A and B are shown apart, each in its own frame.
Chain A
Amino acid sequence: MTEEIIIAGFGGQGVLSMGKILAYSGIMQDKEVSWMPSYGPEMRGGTANVTVILSDDRISSPYLKVFDTAIILNQQSMDKFEESVKPGGILVYDPNGITHHPTRTDIKIFQINGSKLAAEMGNKKIFNMVVMGAFLKIKPIVKLENVLAGLKKSLPERYHHLIPLNEKAMKIGMNNVTPYQVASQFAHN
């Protein structure tokens, strides 16, 4: 198994840390992992992205052009990365702030209203974990218990009391992710 993921959004949305938690969870599940932050001309404009790869085998390139999954959290990233999903791959996105929704029909598209759900939980910072839960529901590449074990290992002890909140956010994400149907007049491959 190899899963090649891009997570893209604004700086401050927890894009890099979500990738880091995913990578740590992979380690807890005995996988090879790589985490490669946006590092190139695309850094301009306040967007942040990270390529995360989880694999049962040695990972070759940590830097990719096409992905199995794109997790997209703002319009700029949608414009840039919708086309980079492999045919048959997955695109998960938060519709908040998205004016041009995805149009491809050769990939599976899901929505997670992460920012709204996090606001309802009273903690906007937990947004990225809601989205993470949504992704893991669609593609359970790591078990929830390993995500929690990864959090425990990567977070300093003074933050361990926040782990139950993270768990709750992921579960809310899992329960609220919905498939998105591309309207036929916009559909393309």
Chain B
Amino acid sequence: MEVLDIIKPENQVFCKTKLMTNAALSYCPGCGHGTAHNLTMEVIDEMGIAEDTIGVAPVGCSVLAYDFMNIDMTQAAHGRAPAVATAIARTWPEKYVFTYQGDGDLAAIGTAETIHACNRGENIVIIFVNNGIYGMTGGQMAPTTLPGMKSTTSPFGRDVKTMGSPIKMTELVAQLPGTYYVTRQSVHTHKNVRKAKKAIKKAFENIKLKKGISFVEIVSNCNSGWKMTPNDANKWMEDNMFPYYPLGDIKVNGKLK
């Protein structure tokens, strides 16, 4: 008996995102990565551009993004995804090229590549998942770790005097003339998921305009790294992350809000 014999298409209200593979997600339960993956693939599927899309995976928790996204993907060295995507977009100008990066990848080791790809206005989408910690390697301090926040490399809390302040990459790149759309979203509630999807869709549609880079930050939780339950992590994110990293559009159609 086939699935469709049980669930008639006309009765189906929900299904697995078509462009996601059948591989079980390796992310921790409650992590925002799975949702961010799903949204990205849904947008690509809905736009009908899967055959013309090339993704660039980072180093970090989402290093294995290509195990879950059923599209052509190149995995980049740590921080270098914007450089890799630059070359793909330049040599295949009609393709939809995106990077999917975490905070360590994009805002620490890859700062130069991020800034310069944005400054050149490469015709790509950058999806930046910011959870304020290095999840994959077991909870070390990220460039976006909040002041006072504990991690394995800031066990007594981030001391901004010696460790610097958390960097607001999204506000920073919005200042560059090469960015066309810069926004900050989250995926922890239904309402935010819908908003984030809209933002991702706008970003991919911008590629057709060839007017510059679209940069979508997704503030996310890391319940393992933060050592909280998923619910507590989401609450903590709302109370602590959002005041520092306020949600919403920062630059739309090349104009700062």
Q: Do chains A and B touch in the complex (CB under 8 A)?
A: no
Q: Which residues of A contact B (CB under 8 A)?
A: none
